[in-house]
Amino acid sequence: MSATQHTAPSGHEGADASQVYGRCFDAVVIGGGVIGLASAWQASKRGLAVAVVDPDPGHGASWAAAGMLAPVTEAHYGEEALLHLSLASARLWGAFAEELEADTGSDIGYRRCGTMLVAFDDDDRMAARQLYEFQLKLGLQVRWVSGREAREMEPNLAPGIRGALWAPNDHQVRTRHLVRALLDACQESEVAFVPERAVALEAPGGRLSAVRLASGIRLTCGAAVLAAGSWSRSVDGLPELAQVPLRPVKGVILRLAPAPLTASATPETEPPPLLTRTVRGMVQGSHVYLVPRADGSIVLGATSEERGFDTTVSVGALHDLIRLARRLVPGVTEMVLADATAGLRPATADNGPVIAAMGGDSGAEGLVLAFGHYRNGILLTPITASAVSAWLCGDPAPDEVSAFGPSRFCAPGSPGLPADGVR
Ligand code: GLY
């Protein structure tokens, strides 16, 4: 995975080869994004010997993500099972953040700030109102606020906005702090980092026994976790059941820093942050979001581009994001462009993740699938890690994940398959 600009987290360059090769691991996790790292950390805390295989852990889609924990404002028509999974994971977030912060002594910026979905013009208002009615029917905690009330809550919103949906329980986390903390937590709990690419699974007799690396080395293991995001289909030896439709959807995200203070500024004259809550916008049918951090910076996202495994940042992407953000919050013009990053969301045919333990009839018993989290990887991290570590220890997983097995893509007429069922 690649990002256009990043700061390498130090101290996670990988284990000495002698610590890793020749050892037998209880579990080898393929993919060092938040899903893989959190699963490795929790499995290791439960006493398992775990390795994470990734050439550049922490620097894939997780590094680009904005960190919105937003089951309500990300709810889409026809995705009720995903909503239940998202709500269950959102409920785990507070304890997950507390445990990670306690284990690492770091602040991951979990912030209970709520989210406002703002309608820019009358058509946007109509679309937002329909979404609001749908959310009310689902029993979600939302409130409609007028344009005036929205501006009282966030005075830097544009004067003409037509109203907003207020979701008080959609929060945020500072993703890059989260990634660094998970890397630290894994290292603290003696997870081995293997800075290589996994190329194949070996399951002689239908039982997983090793993960083969690009260098040709085999890591022998009792179980493997496939958590390689958009690359999860690129490993050889996947059982047929695990070969679900999966594609990368590029998202470009910008990090904006507050304007530098003038020489005469004092703490008293320092301007307040531009926003205090996450603001998502519908702007003449297009979507944009602004996630304000406690230090006054803002994460502005995101494009949605179907360009395969391309992580370049185009001028058009920058222009579109800034144009939409200015219409909603004109003051962003004064901010400083600090960083532009592209990540690849791993999307399945129904936008839901694949979270499952492969059974004896799959041909790869001992393989756990944890990929395809699309727009919700950060939000779904606690529940996915909880399910994965439970399965690795032979325990039952949370009920909410049961709807996210790979077999949902196998039945004729299922998402991503033609009516005759041929892949
Ligand atoms: N969940 C935000 C995004 O996918 O851009």
Q: How far apart are CA 171 and CA 379, in angstroms?
A: 10
**Residue of the CA atom closest to atom 3 of ligand 1:** 375
Ligand 1 nearest-atom number relative to CA 251: 5
Mean pLDDT of 327-334: 96
Percent of the chain with pLDDT over 90: 86
Q: Which of 401, 384, 368 is nearest to 232 (CA)?
A: 368
Give the angle 423-355-85 at the CA atoms, nearest 5°: 115
Q: What is the DSSP letter of 99?
A: H
In this structure, of 118-122, 265-269, 330-334, 335-339, the range with the lowest mean pLDDT score is 265-269
Any ligand 1 atom below 6 A from CB of 383:
no
Q: How far apart are CA 147 and CA 122, in angstroms?
A: 11
pLDDT above 70: residue 10? no
Any ligand 1 atom below 6 A from CB of 249:
no
Q: Please name the residues in contact with 310: beta carbons below 8 A apart, sequence gap of 6 or more.
A: 250, 342
Q: What is the DSSP letter of 413?
A: T
Average pLDDT, the chain: 92
**Residue of the CA atom closest to atom 4 of ligand 1:** 375
Q: How far apart are CA 296 and CA 107, in angstroms?
A: 16
Q: Half-sphere exposure (CA, 13 Å, Cβ side) for 216? A: 0
Ligand 1 nearest-atom number relative to CA 74: 1
- The single residue listed with the structure tokens 């007799």 is 205
pLDDT band at 413 (very low <50, low <70, confident <90, very high): low
Cα–Cα separations (whole angstroms), residue 32 to 145, 150, 186, 370: 41, 39, 10, 12
DSSP track, 313-334: --HHHHHHHHHHHHHH-GGGGG
Mean pLDDT of 145-158: 98
Distance of CA 219 to the CA centre of its chain: 27
Residue 172 burial by Cβ neighbours in a 10 Å radius (0-12, 13-18, 19+): buried
Q: Cis (ω within 30 of 0) for the bond into 302?
A: yes
Mean pLDDT of 172-196: 97
pLDDT above 80: residue 17? no
Mean pLDDT of 175-195: 97
Mean pLDDT of 14-39: 83
pLDDT band at 78 (very low <50, low <70, confident <90, very high): confident
Q: What is the pLDDT of residue 234?
A: 96
Ligand 1 nearest-atom number relative to CA 68: 1
Q: What is the pLDDT of residue 12?
A: 45
- Amino acid identity at 315: V
Q: How far apart are CA 17 and CA 36, in angstroms?
A: 20
Q: What is the DSSP letter of 407?
A: G
Token pair of 49 as six digits: 């010997």
Q: How far apart are CA 197 and CA 149, in angstroms?
A: 52
Q: How far apart are CA 42 and CA 389, in angstroms?
A: 6
Q: What is the pLDDT of residue 149?
A: 98
**Residue of the CA atom closest to atom 5 of ligand 1:** 302
Q: How far apart are CA 258 and CA 248, in angstroms?
A: 32
Q: What is the pLDDT of residue 21?
A: 67
**Using N-to-C axis directions, what is the helix angle for 381-392 and 34-45, rounded to 10°?**
40
Any ligand 1 atom below 6 A from CB of 250:
no
Any ligand 1 atom below 6 A from CB of 280:
no
**Residue of the CA atom closest to atom 2 of ligand 1:** 375
- Amino acid identity at 270: E
Number of alpha helices (DSSP H) and beta strands (DSSP E) in the chain = 9, 18
* 70 C-alpha to ligand 1 centroid (Å): 10
Any ligand 1 atom below 6 A from CB of 68:
yes
Q: Look at residue 10 and give its three-state secondary structure.
A: coil
pLDDT band at 3 (very low <50, low <70, confident <90, very high): very low
Structural domains for the chain:
1-112+171-245+349-423 (3.50.50.60), 115-168+248-347 (3.30.9.10)
pLDDT above 60: residue 138? yes
Mean pLDDT of 253-264: 87
The distance in angstroms from the start CA to the end CA of the chain is 26
Which bin fits 392, alpha (ψ -120 to 50), beta or left (φ > 0)?
Answer: alpha
pLDDT above 80: residue 421? no
Token pair of 134 as six digits: 């749908």
In this structure, of 203-207, 212-216, 233-237, 414-418, the range with the lowest mean pLDDT score is 414-418
